[in-house]
Each structure stands twice: as C-alpha cells, then as structure tokens.
C-alpha cells in the first residue's frame, strides 16, 4: 500500500531491512527471502537495499550478485504495458506539460518498440516523471549537474549520464551533442544498436521547467 502510494506520487521507494538476512552466514538465500525481494520489485519498489548482509556478512559479493539476479528475473516478469495504462488513467487532468510529454514518450516507446528514452534534463524532473510511468526500455538521463545524476540512480530504469563538455554557443547544437553522447553511451552499454528507435525528450529553451518536446530518432 505504501509503495503504491509512492508510485502514484512519483516518489522513489527504497525497500530495505533483512532482505537476504540468511546470507550473513550462508552463501545461498532461503526461498522466502528470494520471494520477498522479487515481490518488492513486482510491487513497484524503485530500489532494494542491503544492510547487515554486506556490512558484516561473510558473503557480501555473493549477496549483491544474488539480489541482482533476483531483480532481473522479477523485472522480466512484470507486465509494464498494463502498469503504464493504469498509471496514465489515474493521472488527473488537466496536467502539466512535463507529465503530458512523459506519458506520450512512454506510449511512443511501446508503439515503436524503442530501445531507450533519452531525457535531456537539468534538474532530472523529466526523467523522474518518465520513470513513474514504467517504460519497458531504459531511460538515459543526460545532465551537466552531478547532483542530478546521483539522484537519478534512485529511480527505476534511469541510467544517468554526466555530460562534461562545455556549453555550445548554439543551444540546438548543444542539445544535439548531448543526444549523440546519450546514443554512444547506450551503444557502449549494449542498450542501443544501429537501426533502433529511441525516444528523445527535450525542452524548448535553456534551463529547467521547459520540457515540452518529444521526437523519435532512428540510430545510424
């Protein structure tokens, strides 16, 4: 119930405490613990967190690897399209431009089977809103602010990219550079391939709060 309320509000949820407690002393988790981790993912948690298992446990590396495998299997079992439909139907109207563009972007990613959604963002809000609607593909959030990139790790499906290059005098060229950097980042991480469709979300001017543009780009 608490996770569902946070999902509806677009707030990141971290599920923690005794997730794989038996792995403090044993190399394998119990079936109940594995189910707990999987159900946390299926219920909508953005993050699952270990504590004593890695702080004082005998098998810290195996614990992280085990949790990683369980999360991957649970995410593969999720019906993301239905989650998107339910969440978008519960969005009040009228809504702001960022939310409207985020809903359109996730819908477009499902229709054209996009391999990534690229968000050119300053504060990270546009990427956070896209994450709320649970797209099937990863969200690559490109920002020049380290704080924005760090915070993005808390939201499900976001891969933050810190863009270090200096600002271009021409704003449109600067946007294109960041999009190209995101595509190259996706290729390096085996998320994007040549010929894939990607959804690009940008603003209409410099600064935050201007997100209102979505386009579909095919990778060359």
Q: Which domain holds residue 201?
A: 80-218
* Domain shared by 62 and 104, yes or no: no
pTM of the model: 0.90
- pLDDT bin (cut points 50, 70, 90) of residue 74 is very high
- pLDDT bin (cut points 50, 70, 90) of residue 22 is very high
Whether the pLDDT of residue 78 is over 80: the answer is: yes
- How many CB atoms are located within 10 Å of the residue 211 CB? 27
* Domain shared by 22 and 45, yes or no: yes
* Domain shared by 70 and 139, yes or no: no
* Domain shared by 162 and 197, yes or no: yes
pLDDT-wise least confident of 82-91, 143-152, 185-194: 82-91
Count structural domains, the chain.
2
Which of 61, 76, 91 finishes a domain?
76
Give pLDDT, residue 175.
92
Give pLDDT, residue 163.
93
* Domain shared by 50 and 28, yes or no: yes
- pLDDT bin (cut points 50, 70, 90) of residue 207 is low
Whether the pLDDT of residue 17 is over 90: the answer is: no
Beta carbons of 190 and 169 less than 8 angstroms apart: no
* Domain shared by 70 and 111, yes or no: no
Peptide bond into 76 cis (omega under 30): no
* Domain shared by 16 and 93, yes or no: no
* Rg (the chain; Cα; Å): 18
Give pLDDT, residue 36.
92
């Amino acid at each position: 119930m608490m996770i569902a309320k946070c999902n509806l509000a677009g707030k990141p949820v971290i599920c923690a405490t005794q997730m794989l407690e038996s792995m403090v002393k044993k190399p394998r988790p119990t079936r109940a613990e594995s189910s707990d981790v999987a159900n946390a993912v299926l219920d909508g948690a953005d993050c699952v967190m270990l504590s004593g298992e890695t702080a004082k446990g005998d098998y810290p590396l195996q614990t992280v690897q085990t949790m990683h495998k369980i999360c991957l299997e649970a995410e593969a079992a999720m019906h993301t399209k239905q989650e998107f439909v339910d969440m978008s139907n519960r969005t009040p109207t009228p809504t702001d431009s960022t939310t409207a563009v985020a809903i359109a972007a996730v819908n477009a990613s499902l229709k054209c089977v996009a391999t990534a959604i690229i968000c050119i963002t300053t504060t990270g809000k546009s990427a956070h809103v896209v994450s709320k609607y649970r797209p099937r593909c990863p969200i690559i959030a490109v920002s020049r602010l380290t704080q924005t990139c760090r915070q993005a790790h808390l939201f499900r499906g976001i891969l933050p990219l810190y863009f270090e290059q200096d600002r271009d005098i021409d704003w449109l060229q600067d946007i294109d550079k960041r999009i190209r950097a995101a595509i190259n980042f996706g290729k390096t991480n085996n998320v994007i391939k040549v010929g894939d469709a990607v959804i690009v979300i940008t603003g209409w001017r410099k600064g935050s709060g201007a997100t209102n543009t979505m386009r579909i780009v095919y990778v060359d």
